Every structure is written in structure tokens, then in C-alpha cells.
Amino acid sequence: MNLPEWLKVSVPALTPERGVKEPGFIKKNLEEIASLMRWMMDTEESAGRRGLLQTFDPRARILGILFLVVATAVTGNTIGFVSIMIIILLLSYLSSVGITDMVGRVLPSFVFTGVMVLPALLSIVTPGTHILTIMIGTKEIGITYEGLRTAGTLLVRVTMMVSLVALLLLTTRQADLFTGLRGLPVPAFLVTALFMAFRYIFILLRMAEDVNLARRSRTIDHGLLRDTQGWFASRIAFFVERSMKMAEDISMAMCSRGFTGEIKGMDMDGMKRRDYLWLGGTSFVFFIILGLY
Amino acid sequence: MTREIYRLEGVSYSYGRYPALRDVDLVVEEGESIAILGANGSGKSTLLKLLDGLIFPTEGTLLAFGRPVTEENLSGGFLAEFRKRIGFVFHEPDVQLFCPTVFDELSFGPLQLDLPVEEVKKRVSDLMGMLGLHSLRDRPPYTLSSGEKKKVALASVLTVNPDVLLMDEPTNGLDPRTQVWLFELIEALRGFNKTFIIATHDLSLVEDLTDRVVLLDEAHRVVADGDTVDILRDKDLLLRTNIIHEHPHRHGDVVHIHSHGPYAGHDEHE
């Protein structure tokens, strides 16, 4: 093979270092999103610990947590909130769920909800008794007691509901979660679609990381922002195409094994006494809260 | 007397305006072990998808077990019969493993085909024992290694006990030990009158496990169909269809050009 002359020349010795550049926004964002998602969804370790919730049948676990979530959604008084908060803390302790695991999963929704409810504090959204007044020109805007109460209630409610769901996810292996859903009157196709979305997002995420790494291995500068944005847009198009191809292949793989539109599964074993006790307890809390409401 | 499994007459398939297969004639009989050989993009995977009734010819006729394989035919009672008899191991195990656990994966096929639950459990348990998958029973398939995924993908097809196994690049990405395991499994199954149609460019697999080769060229046509040994000995044909290649090779101080492929011994250059 005849190589061109330039290909035969080695790169000269390294030049002295001229400072280290910050990584680009795509690299930072992709890596952080990927690692955050992996951490949030990796619940195998906590689900494998010995604890109270882990001993229940997945169906009972899902249903019981659902009762508590609905109870949180309907409660409007302090006693209700405090009672459910105590239940959450007790369940976390008895199920060996660490505070870091819980806080890490609840914090993003807490911050997001906090930002969303901020306008509700202001008198222009929730009129009422001012506890703090700000003058903007000739206009008076204040933070009202009613606004604070409304925003606070929503924030606490959402945080508690997310805590309950985090508790369920942290004490249930992914496979058990989907098996449990299948055992409940949830359409089988919906469970499979949920599972697949969950499963294939990781494959696409890995692909996105590889694509970014491949680009980094061939570039020495971030380049113009416009070029980077152009490249990013072209990769999004590439991923749409790859996702569609993958969806088509998965559909073929399912058809090849006899799938005709309705997924047939095995009946699960019956629930045990402890599962019924747990369901009785959580439904009792639900009805008490409903009564208080 | 052997039974005819497939008959293809003038079959062509195109992806839009891009042809993938052109004018393919092929007859496959029960118990045969056939390699579909061809360079990348020659149409091997497309041919397997046609044989599995996942896509349908744009021209020509495809018969399976004496019945036409058409979209209309595969929507009735023939579909279950067809799926019970034919299994397809995809090239990419990640595509094929879509259930929450290994157990669910192995039981998916037989359950969809309405086999009794007790029979399904027995088959899954037997196969797990045979392939050493018991320890993976409750693992989500995406947490497995490449070799384990390939084993589970194959097991998920075997639980249906198909008569015909279509395999797309089965040795791709496998370490040597898992490749040997796969060779032994295919060899064992061949003893029970199973029909194998394997798309590959792994010539060691072709040489060891198949009796017949169907060779596709880069124009998506069948250019040869015959005995494995005869085709693998035809160096010019293999070079022309981009199955083997010639390049300089070093042996100590000696550098010479020879082809890489079966029966391409060094002595022919000495």
C-alpha cells in the first residue's frame, strides 16, 4: 500500500503545557445526566437489604404505598401531614433505607417544586395578610400569610409523595416492581412499555456518551458555540433515527417469539398473611386521613 | 424422506429504493445446516428476516412448510404454527432481551404460544440447568455480560423448541470459551434433526457446523449454493465476494502475500 508522505511523518515532541481548559457544556451535561440517572435508578443494593418493606409481596408493597400517596394527596391538615411523615420515617428506618439515598432522590423534586410555587407567595397571586411588603415604584407587592401557607402545603405534600415513591423504588428490585405491576390490574402492554422505556433509555444514554467521547477523541478545542450546537442538533437527529430502528428491531424480536399484540404472562403466587396485614394498615391510615379531611 | 422447509422463488426485497436482496432461489430441507455467507450489507440479515416472516418479499414467492408466507397468511392460525416451528436469534442480544428478568425472558415465547404454564416452567428450568443459567434467574438481562446475554437470547428461543433455528452472526462479540460452548450446543442440536440457517462471516463456524453454503455477493444476489467444502475451497469465488482477503504477512524474516480463509495454506506460496 502506498501511504501519502504526510502520513509517514511522526508528530513532533510535546510542547510545554499552556493551561487546562474547562470541559465543554455537552460533556459536562451528558456525563452528569448519565451518572445522576444511573445513581437514581440503581436501587438493587438498597432493595436487597433486609428490611420491613422488602419482605412484602411487590403487589402489596405497590398497593400499600399507593394508599399512602393518595392519603397524602387528600390530607389538608397538620395532623395528617405529621402522621404520614412519621410513617415515612418509620418505614425508612425499618426498611434500612439510608438518609442519603432518600434525600438524593427527593431533593430535585423539592427544589423544582419550590421554584414552581414561589409566585404563589406574592400578593398578586394569593391576596391576603402581608407579612413582608416590597415597594416596586408606586406599586406595593408583598408576601402574604395565605400565599406562604398555600405554597408550603404544596411543597410539603409533593415532597412527601415523592418520598413515598422513592421508598417504594428503594425497597423494590426493578424486576419485582414490574412483576408487581403485572400482578395488579394494570394493562400488561403498559407495564411492558414502561419497562422497555426504562430499559432502553440506558442503552441510548450509553450510545450518547460514546458519540460524545468519539467526538472528543478527534477534537482539541470546543470550537464555536454555533458549531457545537449544530453538532448537538445533528446527534439528536441521529438518536431519533437510532431509537426508531431499535424500536423496529425490538418489535420484530417480540413478533418472532409469538407476540401478537397482547402479552401473556404467568399468574403470580398468592399473597401471604403479612401482606394482607400491611394492606390493612395502610388502608386504615388512608380511611382515617379521609375522615379527618 | 426429508421434508421441505423453505422454497424461495425469485425473491427480492428492497428498503425503499435500496435493494437488499435480488432474485433469490433457494430450497431448504429438514435437518440441513446452512451458512448464509456474504460481506457486510450483502443481504444476509434481510434474508433471515424474510425466512422468519418478519418482512415479506417485494417480489417473488416464499413458501414455508409448503404454505405461502405472506402478511395475510401470517395473521391467521398459521401464525402460531409458524412461530412454534421457527426461532430467530438476533444479531444484537440487547434487542432481543426485553423482559424484566432472565426467567421472564425464557418463558416469554412459550407463554405467547399458549403452552401450559407447568410445561413452560419445566422447559425454563431444564434449559437453565442445561446452559448454567440458574444463578441468573432473577437478574435483569441488561445487567448481564455479552456472553451471558447471548446465552439467554439463545435460551429464550430454545424454550419454544423450534424445528428451524435462524441465527444472525451468532459468534459475533463472543469470547473463545463462549464460542466453543455455542459450537458444542449447535452440534448437539444438529443430532436431533433441527434445521440451522446461520448468517455469518465467521468461516470457522461455517467449516465446523454447516454442510451447505449459500453465498451472497455485494450485488445482493446468490452467486453460489453448494457443499461447504467445495465453496470454501474456491478461493477466487471467496475473494470476489469479499469473504476472504489477501494481504502481506510476516513469518520471521519472510514477508509474503497470501489470503486469509479456510484451506488457504501457506505452502501454496512457497
CB-based contact, B92 to chain A, within 8 Å: yes
Using CB atoms, pick whichever of A178, A203, A259 lies closest to residue B94.
A203
Task: Pick from B82, B86, B112, B159 the residue to mutate for testing the A interface (most A CBs within 10 Å).
Answer: B112
| Average predicted confidence (pLDDT) for chain A | 83
Residue B42 has what pLDDT? 92
- Cβ of B92 within 8 Å of Cβ of A254? The answer is no
Residue A88 has what pLDDT? 95
DSSP string for residues in B171-216: TTT--HHHHHHHHHHHHHHHTTT-EEEEEE--HHHHHHH-SEEEEE
Residue A16 has what pLDDT? 67
pLDDT single digits (tens) A225-284? 777 778 778 888 888 888 888 888 888 998 999 888 777 877 777 889 999 999 999 999
pLDDT single digits (tens) A140-177? 888 899 999 999 999 999 999 999 999 999 998 877 88
Q: Which domains does chain B have, with CATH numbers?
A: 4-233 (3.40.50.300)
**Angle of helix A25-41 versus helix A188-217 axis, rounded to 10:** 150
Residue B270 has what pLDDT? 42
The residue ranking higher by pLDDT, B212 or A127, is: B212
3-state SS assignment for residue A193:
helix
- Cβ of B99 within 8 Å of Cβ of A264? The answer is no
Residue B267 has what pLDDT? 44
Percent of residues, chain A, with pLDDT higher than 90: 32
CB-based contact, B116 to chain A, within 8 Å: no
Is residue B249 a contact partner of residue B256, using CB atoms and an 8 Å limit? Answer: yes
C-alpha cell recorded at residue A128: 391576603
Residue A124 has what pLDDT? 84
Of the candidate ranges A14-23, A114-123, A284-293, B112-121, the one whose mean pLDDT is the lowest: A14-23
Using CB atoms, pick whichever of B92, B113, B121 lies closest to residue A258.
B113
DSSP structure class, residue B250: E
Residue A126 has what pLDDT? 85
Of the candidate ranges A26-35, A93-102, B32-41, B170-179, the one whose mean pLDDT is the lowest: A26-35
Query: Predicted confidence band at A100 (pLDDT cuts at 50, 70, 90)?
Result: confident
C-alpha cell recorded at residue B113: 404460544
The list of chain B residues with pLDDT below 50 reads 264-270
Instruction: Give me the interface pTM, i.e. the ipTM.
Output: 0.83
Residue A291 has what pLDDT? 83
